Structure 1
Amino acid sequence: MNKENLYQLCLKFIEQRIETAETALKQAREASNDDTKSSAGDKYETSREMMQQDIDRNKRLLIDAEDNRKVLESIGHASVTDSIRGGSLVYTNQGIFYISISAGQLLSEGKTVFAISAASPIGKLMLGKKKKDSFDFNGKTYLIEDIA
């Protein structure tokens, strides 16, 4: 399995999230600027507050996506090591995991790979483990078969 392909899929996922957040933020700001004060008073203030909340939410989504891009860039093209760390491709008896960002299921070379963050609950359990180690998660036992 090609880690570079997985890296590119994760990067594309993040770039789409950034683009979506930037577009939503721009639209929310334009809507806020276009909103003219009506004679309704309280209704106007409620509307402005809802628009500000929308702007704030989209700002947080954008910051989160940019932070994820930084995490992804920091793992870059991690070399293969004996123990699991950011950038590792982990083969288990329960599936294949790419320790990178939380991007969900990716399809690479006809196989499903779970892109997970090292900070996720299962990611935390994997960090530092080696081939043939095992751990339990959600009632299942995971055996680490290989690390790439």
Structure 2
Amino acid sequence: MNKTTIIERLKSLLDEKVSIAWNAMQAAQASANEESKSSAGDKYETGRAMAQNERDRYAQQYEILRQERLQLERQELAAHYERVEFGSLIETSEGWFLIAISVGIIPVDTEKVVVISPGSPIGSQLLGKRIGEHFQFRGKSCSIIRIE
């Protein structure tokens, strides 16, 4: 498993999500602007407020995704870790995990990697563990085989 390939894949996925959120935010802003031109009275106020709320949701989503992307860029990803920490790629008896940002399962070559944040339930269990130590996942005791 190549950690650099996984990180590049994550960056690409985030770039796509950032672009989608940006475009949705722009479309919602355009819709809000159109509402202000089209009608008058309470109907206008309600429509404009709804469009503005939608724009704000997309703006918040955009900012979260942008910050996650920056976090991946700034993180020095060591080749080898003694203990599990942010940036660790962990081979376990149940598969591969990457402690980074909360993305979920991503396919890499013929394997799947579960990309989780350090604050997730499984991420917080894994943090600080060493090779050979155990943790609970889906009701099973799992062991850490390798940390990269």
The unaligned stretches of length 5 or more in structure 1 are: none
Let me know the Cα RMSD of the aligned residues: 1.4
> Contact between 1:10 and 1:101, CA under 8 Å: does it hold in 2?
no
Which segments of structure 1 move beyond 3 Å, counting only runs of 4 or more?
none
The unaligned stretches of length 5 or more in structure 2 are: none
SS at match of 2:136: strand
Q: Matched residues in 2 for 1:77 and 1:84: separation? A: 12
Aligned to 1:27: 27
Q: Matched residues in 2 for 1:75 and 1:120: separation? A: 19
Shift of 1:101: 1.3
Aligned residues: 147
Shift of 1:140: 2.4
Aligned to 2:110: 110
Q: Matched residues in 1 for 2:116 and 2:78: separation? A: 15
Structure 2 length normalisation: TM-score? 0.92
- Pair 1:90-2:90 in alignment: yes
Greater relative contact order (Cα 8 A, min sep 6): structure 1 or 2? 1
Percent identity at matched positions?
A: 33
> Contact between 1:13 and 1:103, CA under 8 Å: does it hold in 2?
no
- Pair 1:136-2:136 in alignment: yes
